Structure 1
């Protein structure tokens, strides 16, 4: 005679078993909701532009909302996904700017295990990751000299002739992204994306190597770009565009009393007129007590080819942690560009992670 397993258990025992099963299933998969809201107020001025008194979103870190999760597939494998959208906290608008795509920060699905991680969709390219890791202001599009001189396409009145930002944006779409497991302090990342027609000539591909070993850290990153992204520079700005290549070296050393940063790299755009841009940055982070840090970064970006331009940006700041999730900051930035008046920015801000 057949007896179901449920029928052989008392109701209380069966309920307890169901609860345990639900707990086990929950332990095998998870979904997280997280994000960051960054607001600052003050005087904002790029080189060659008027002074603006404003309240702005996302200058130290771009405000965003994210959803991510994993599922245990067994055998040491897990499935992953990430959906992350930028937003403008000052207006409630979506994206980083008007025509931005909705899931601009990330939209990918993948698998991870002892072999590393493999994702498909939209994610940050390796060069962008290296750039934000080796300067004291991280991924700040508003204040970091490194991010501004490599990626920010809104640097002031001189941008039409200066054109330093990379083509391809700080996020790559239609891509496959592979990250190796860590070997001691060493790891690497590779990204390949499809051009998919239109004005895009072909694929993008890039890679980086990262080393974190005690107080010393370093990176080498490279990319080849033929396809546009929704942000950053546009390949149509270069008549006869064929491709763009960029490489970067970065390093940092933490002495305890101060952490030093350095970066050097080059962007070469192959077009009717070859445009070569050399970027360099030095920076420092000095702890103040248990909760604060003085931040300083100086960057130079020199454009060669056609109309030569030199951009010099100095940013000084103080960041104070009110908790593990909330910090206050004050910033001063001087932005200089050949042939244009100096821009001076003063701002105070509040950043909250959740």
Structure 2
């Protein structure tokens, strides 16, 4: 039995044990499984994960006085092959591995998790920043700002801060503050300490976000976004300005998107992204439709079209199925 299998088995065995030891303890197993057939932007036909798949163990224990202990362990996987995401190049608990305390003052976690920017930007993309066919955010946002250039066996980590501390404030008047950072310096060029901050607003039909992220190598991203729900239609827009350290590159992205609930089961999606990458302009257009077989199971079809400057246009399309549990 390899290490990954042992860890998963240990979590399964520990869940009922933890419930027995702590009367007010809650442990949950949840996840999101996705698989589809698609033609990627290079023209290659594939069967694989179009959106991200994960299995998550999470829980909390009531300590009394309004204080709770929390934990979260999330494993990302490729459903078509059963391998860990990244073919083993990423940590087993790639999604998240944190333990924390929660009270009326907010929620503090320690470990590995999405930074304060990456944890919430997905709310302003029709595809949730996780669709390799249709999400312009996937290809264009934060182009020069991984959270860590070297955290995955020398490869950039887009989204997660290791050795991190994370804080989520209570919501006051519709506003919620998120902070993240690490006391450890990133290895490699720059060698600094990463940090990020985001301020969210959500009340009634209006939502917005203002965020800043600096990784340990000195790359910086500024992000502002808004969305408005009008009946069955939600409109959203965002602007991202990411800059690589020492003026080695700059990317500015304007995005707009919309979702429309056609009926109880069908949701239509559309989006456009315009990226100014250094001196070149790249456009991204996308369309999609979701059909809900239930609250947890969705069939979908998506199309994405890239129009990079000075290069030939490329199109990707695919159909798939996702199930949340």
TM-score, with normalisation over the residues of structure 1? 0.80
Query: Is the CA contact 2:32–2:324 (under 8 Å) kept in the aligned structure 1?
Result: yes
| Contact 2:269 2:288 (C-alpha < 8 Å) held by counterparts | yes
Note if 1:30 corresponds to 2:30: no
| Aligned residue number for residue 234 of structure 1 | none
Aligned pairs (5 A) from 1:214-229 = 214-227=204-217
2:160 equivalent to 1:171: yes
How far residue 173 of structure 1 moved from its aligned partner, in angstroms, is 0.6
**In structure 1, what is the Cα distance between the partners aligned to 2:48 and 2:306?**
18
Does 2:36 correspond to 1:40?
yes
- The question of 1:303 aligning with 2:277 is answered yes
Max Rg structure: 1
Is the counterpart of residue 180 in structure 1 residue 169 in structure 2? yes
Checking the alignment, whether the CA contact within 8 Å between 1:247 and 1:266 is kept in structure 2 is yes
- 1:98 CA drift (Å): 4.5
Instruction: Name the CA distance, whole Å, in 2 between partners of 1:178 and 1:107.
Output: 15
SS at match of 1:108: strand
The alignment's C-alpha RMSD in Å is 1.9
Structure 1 distance, partners of 2:232, 2:224, is 24
SS at match of 1:133: helix
Q: Any idea what SS the aligned residue of 2:94 has?
A: coil
The reply on whether 1:261 has 2:236 as its aligned counterpart is: yes
Which residue does 1:212 correspond to in 2?
202
Question: How many residues are treated as equivalent by the alignment?
Answer: 296
Residue 348 of structure 1 is matched in structure 2 by 319
Q: Deviations over 1:139-167 (max 9, x none)?
A: 3141311232125xxxxxxxxxxxx2422
Q: Per the alignment, in what secondary structure is the counterpart of residue 146 of structure 2?
A: coil
Q: For residue 139 of structure 2, give the secondary structure of its aligned residue in structure 1.
A: helix
Q: Is the 8 A contact 1:132 1:147 kept in 2?
A: no
Q: 1:192 maps to what in 2?
A: 181
Given that 2:185 and 2:194 are in contact with CA atoms closer than 8 Å, whether structure 1 keeps it comes out as: no
TM-score (norm 2): 0.86
Give the Cα separation in 2 of the matches to 1:194 and 1:286: 43
In structure 1, distance between residues paired with 2:227 and 2:166: 25
Pair 1:85 & 2:83 matched: no
User: Residue in 2 aligned with 1:238?
Assistant: none
Residue matched to 1:278: 252
The CA distance in 2 between the partners of 1:35 and 1:109, in whole Å, is 19
Equivalent residue, structure 2, for 1:317: 288
Q: d(CA) in 2 for partners of 1:286 and 1:218?
A: 19
Of residues 123, 133, 136, the one that matches 1:145 is 136
Cα distance change of structure 1 residues 208 and 197 upon mapping to structure 2, 3 Å threshold: closer
Shift, 1:332, TM fit: 0.8
Q: What is the rounded CA distance, in whole Å, between the counterparts of 1:260 and 1:193 in structure 2?
A: 35
Residues 286-327 of structure 1, C-alpha deviation per residue, up to 9 Å, x if partnerless?
Answer: 1111111100111111122xxx33221111000011101100
Deviates more, 1:81-90 or 1:23-32: 23-32
The answer to whether the 8 A contact 2:186-2:216 is kept is no
Distance 1:312 1:324 in 2: 34
Structure 1 unaligned blocks of 5 or more: 1-21, 152-163, 228-242
- Structure 1, 321-330 or 22-31: larger mean CA deviation: 22-31
CA pair 165-86 structure 1, distance change in 2 beyond 3 A? farther
What CA distance in whole angstroms lies between the structure 1 residues aligned with 2:250 and 2:130? Answer: 24
Question: For residues 86 and 292 of structure 2, what CA distance do their matches in structure 1 show?
Answer: 25
- Aligned 1:60-139 pairs, distance under 5 A: 61-139=51-129
Does the 8 Å CA contact 1:34/1:67 hold for their aligned counterparts?
Answer: yes
Secondary structure in structure 2 of the residue aligned to 1:128: coil
The alpha carbon displacement at 1:224 in A equals: 1.2
